[in-house]
Amino acid sequence: MASVPLGIKTHAQKVCSLYKRGLRNLEAFYDRRHVYRYQAVLLRARFDKHAKEQDMRVAVDLLKKGQEELFMTQHPVPRVFPMSPGGVAHERVVTPPDWVLDYWHPLEKARYPEYFKKREQRKKEFIAMWEKEYGKHDPKEDHH
């Protein structure tokens, strides 16, 4: 599932995001740790050079130019973490839905009596909460 931005990002958040994406881009280009660190220090110096900028028009322009530069210099095959979207192991582990436990054999359930006792109690509480909020189920509505 794609991440949905919640709220408006401040200028500082946009700058931090640009810096982090710039570091990740450098990581994709330089596989030698010492070369990557040198390039990262140079990148940080470029950001620190304009850190005290008071004029927001200039700051916004610098941000826009930085985003354009990052776009133009991005790695053709960016490094992606395995568990991240686009990674080789993204969503590889499937978590079964909760209702699967309802179909366990009674002998299987007997191995975990406390868990299933609490689970049944919570199911009853959930049904009571649902009926309080939305009303009881009307069987007449089942037929279309």
**Residue 87 carries which DSSP code?**
S
pLDDT of residue 139: 76
Please check whether residues 42 and 67 belong to one and the same domain. yes
Q: The tokens 């530069």 sit on which residue?
A: 69
Q: Are residues 27 and 81 in the same domain?
A: yes
Indicate the residue among 78, 93, 108 that finishes a domain: 93
Average pLDDT, stretch 119-131?
Answer: 94
10, 35: one domain:
yes
pLDDT of residue 142: 72
Let me know whether 8 and 69 are in one domain: yes
Stretch (H or E) spanning 49? helix 33-49
Task: Name residue 144's amino acid.
Answer: H
Residues 133 and 80 reside in one and the same domain: no
- Which of 85-89, 120-124, 137-141 is predicted most confidently? 120-124
* Per-residue model confidence as pLDDT tens digits over 26-42: 999 998 999 999 999 99
Q: What's the pLDDT at 141?
A: 76
Same domain, 107 and 45: no
17 and 51 co-located in one domain: yes
In degrees rounded to 5, what are phi and psi of residue 103?
-100, 10
Question: What gap in Å lies between CA 7 and CA 70, rounded to an integer?
Answer: 24
Does residue 138 or residue 129 have the better pLDDT? 129
Q: pTM of the full predicted structure?
A: 0.62
The answer on 2 and 58 residing in a single domain is: yes
Residues 66 and 108 placed together within one structural domain of the fold: no
Instruction: Render pLDDT for 6-62 as a digit per residue (tens, 0 to 9).
Output: 789 999 999 999 999 999 999 999 989 999 999 999 999 999 999 999 999 999 999
Residue 89 near residue 83 (C-beta atoms within 8 A): yes
- pLDDT of res. 135: 87
Same domain, 138 and 89: no
- Domain count of the fold of the chain: 2
Q: What is the pLDDT of residue 144?
A: 60
Domain of residue 110: give its range: 98-142
